[in-house]
């Protein structure tokens, strides 16, 4: 299966991903579309310049849509892997969302599982 590789560094977010993943309708759709129950939180990756260019082009690809409830925006999911750990990238469909940020969800806490800290370099392989 073809892959698109994103390179970047781990950084701490504002906790918004945790709130979003904690919504019952989001969790239910992730389970249905990806086949796993998401860990309550996201891993935030600050992309390299090359990664930003790839993300801008890739954002228009056809992924799995998390259909929003009222007052929320949709998210687009793509299956991915970090060091052979199954995960998914989420493109929040929020106006002015930063192009240099990649949000990752997984069935486990990726920081713990992969022993990641802020500033650590990661490679995210997205299946396309």
> Per-residue pLDDT tens for 48-90?
999 999 998 887 788 898 888 777 888 889 999 999 999 999 9
- How many helices, marked H, and strands, marked E, lie in the chain? 4, 7
Looking at every residue in the chain, the average pLDDT score rounds to 90
CATH number corresponding to 3-127: 2.40.30.30
The DSSP bridge pattern shows strands 75-82 and 85-92 to be: antiparallel
Residue 83, φ and ψ in degrees, nearest 5:
50, 45
């Amino acid at each position: 299966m073809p892959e698109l590789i994103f390179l970047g560094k781990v950084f701490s977010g504002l906790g918004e991903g945790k709130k979003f993943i904690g919504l019952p309708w989001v969790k239910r759709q992730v389970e249905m579309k990806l086949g796993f129950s998401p860990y309550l939180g996201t891993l935030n990756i600050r992309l390299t310049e090359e990664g930003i260019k790839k993300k801008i082009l890739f954002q228009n690809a056809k992924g799995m849509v998390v259909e929003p409830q009222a007052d929320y925006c949709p998210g687009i999911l793509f299956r991915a892997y970090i060091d052979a750990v199954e995960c998914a990238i989420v493109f929040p469909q929020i106006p002015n969302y930063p192009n240099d940020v990649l949000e990752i969800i997984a069935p486990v806490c990726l920081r713990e599982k992969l022993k990641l800290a802020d500033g650590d370099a990661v490679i995210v392989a997205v299946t396309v």
